[in-house]
Amino acid sequence: MYGKQTTGRRKFGISMMAAALLLGTKLVGAQDAAPDDALAAWLGMEFTVQSSTLNDHMPTGGKLTFIFDSEENVVRICTRNSTRQRGPWRMDFATPCGVTMLFTRGTHYCTLDDVKTGNAEVLSSCHRLRTRDVAMRPSRVKGTVELNDMIAFLVRTESGKPTMTILVDSPARVTADGMIIVGLSGPH
């Protein structure tokens, strides 16, 4: 599983590079978007899922990296499996960098307590990423795809380290609320 994922990522990287070479002139001319300053510290770093109430959506121990796709002005989530992971990445998260999120600039970073409190009046002013239709696990209804709404709030710890708190299907659709906390992998 791990090897397969790595191969997938490499292929994605190569295809992106090839696309960049082929479209080089256009890319230069089009002046690609740059990531927002508020988001920069979260890009390119590998995070680990530290706790998850939704293990079948996002497994504890799983690794994920956020990269900025300047061509489409979106953030892509690239995952990999680790040996300590509680379950495999599934559906869109198992596809190499298959999940895209849009960044919304708020006025400040949320705290973990802001997310835990769940007051949308407060959360609406926080920097965040959101994807509205992502498949995270096989549907319980045969023959259908279950799509989730996911909001990732950028959170800084007291020591200033970037972390992230993710809400799945809360708040938008009021289905099974759940919270996932991701932190940086390894010492930083």
Partner 1 sequence: MATAFGASLALAAAPNLCDHGGRWKTTVARAPAAVAAYLDSLGHERFDLRAACARWAGTFSKRHQSAAANPQRTQIPSARLIVFPAQGGNTGPLYDRLRQTGYVRQVERTRRFVVATFSKYVPTERLIAIINSPEVGYVEPDCDGPDYLTTSLDFPPVVASDLHCWQRKARATFPNDPCLDELWGHQKIGWDSGVAARSLPRMVAVLDSGIDASHEDLARNVVLHLKAPDAPRSQGGRLNARCATSGRCYPHGTEMAGTIGGRMDNGIGVAGVAPNSRLLPIVISRVDRGLLARISTIAAGIDAAVEDGAEIINISAKWPVDSRAISEAIVAAVGGKASFQRLLVTGYATSLDRDDTVREYFPSQYRCLPGVIAAVPTDMRGHELFNPKGQPDATDGRIQAPGVDIVVTTTENSARGYALSESAGASSAAAYVSGAVALAWGSPPLNSCDAQQIKRLLFCRSKNSTSTRYPWINVEFLRELANLDPTADCPAAMEALGCN
Q: In the chain, what's the furthest Cα-to-Cα distance? A: 48
The identity of residue 81, as a single letter, is: N
Backbone phi, psi, residue 37, to 5°: -55, -35
Closer of 16 and 172 to partner 1 (Cβ) = 172
CB of 23 to partner 1, least distance (A): 30
Task: Report whether 131 contacts 150 (CB < 8 A).
Answer: yes
Report how far residue 102's alpha carbon sits from residue 132's, in angstroms, rounded to the nearest whole number. Answer: 9
What minimum distance in Å lies between the beta carbon of 136 and partner 1?
A: 12
Residue among 6 and 139 whose Cβ is closer to partner 1? 139
What would the two tokens of residue 180 be? 């996932």
Residue number, 67 or 126, with CB nearest to partner 1: 126
Minimum separation from the CB atom of position 100 to partner 1 (A): 15
Q: Which is nearer to partner 1, 27 or 172 (CB)?
A: 172
Least distance (Å) between residue 39 CB and partner 1 = 17
171 closest CA partner among 115, 105, 125, 92: 115
User: Which residue ranges make up the site for partner 1 (CB under 8 A)?
Assistant: 51-54, 104, 111, 113-121, 123-124, 130, 132-133, 141-147, 149, 151, 167, 170-179, 181
Q: Residue written as tokens 């600039």?
A: 105
